Amino acid sequence: MRQERLRIGVGVCLILLSWGALQAEAPPEVTIIRDLPYRTDHATLNTEGQARCRLDVAIPKGQKNFPTVIWFHGGGLVAGDKHFPEPLLKEGIGVVTAGYRLTPGVPVTTCLDDAAAASAWVHREIGKYGGSSEKIVISGHSAGGYLAMMIGLDPQWLAKYQMEPSQFAGLAPFSGQTVTHVAARAELKVPRMQPLINELAPLYHLRKDAPPMLLLTGDRERELMARYEENAYLWRMLKTVGHPDVTLIEFPGTDHGSMVTPGYAPLMEFVRRVTN
């Protein structure tokens, strides 16, 4: 998708509905492998950590060298569990859904480290399942979108695993927070509605050499806590520093939760483009 910023209207929504119907007719078969530990220090984690630091892998049958989407769940970094975005299982791609430890039981930095460890695992291991390590897009909704952006914009998280963001084909956050996450603000005793941009904000790490980015949000009048405006600011600032491939799409009429469904079609278009 070459457009820089879009509002998807009624005509495109009809196309998205048709796309969904067509995809439902003949979904490719997948093999699902569940609860694989992704941390090299897994045995040293406590019981909760061992339960949450696992991922599920969906492998399209009969496909080789396929692209893969890593999906991090939402829940404000305080709740949620790994799950597959079901429409993606019908696309003939690999899908990995990864859990991570939650605040306030751990600091936000641990959530980020888990996301980086899971992403590094996929890059290292997906070839064993037939996928390509060069065709991985990191995505997720809400808190998951925040994690995707942070590990893709701030190199320190992947560096611990001898990797860098440029080794991933793209980032596609769904309604991710681009200022300092509300959970990180809570750790600093900053009021929930007071914005902050520090080292735990994607906006703090503007880089023209970051992977291609697709920013998806709900309607600016219905989104959660100015989420559209946050993403629009990140889009503009990335353009300003010279990032060559960043797109922002707003879905009119959708809120923070309902924007996910229309987001799958442009996500798949993005995946096909950046992994070709």
Among 67, 100, 68, 66, smallest CA distance to 83 is for 100
Domains of the chain in start order, with CATH, are: 5-274 (3.40.50.1820)
Using CB atoms within 10 Å of the CB of residue 187, give its burial: 0 to 12 exposed, 13 to 18 middle, 19+ buried: middle
Read off the pLDDT band of 6 (50, 70, 90): low
Tell me if the pTM is above 0.85: yes
pLDDT of residue 152: 98
pLDDT above 90: percentage of residues in the chain: 89
Name the average pLDDT for the chain. 92
Q: What integer is the mean pLDDT of 198-214? A: 98
Structure tokens at 114: 């888990």
Q: What integer is the mean pLDDT of 10-36? A: 58
Among 64, 169, 65, 84, smallest CA distance to 119 is for 169
Evaluate whether 144 touches 74 at the Cβ level (below 8 Å). yes
How many whole angstroms separate alpha carbon 36 and alpha carbon 239? Answer: 38
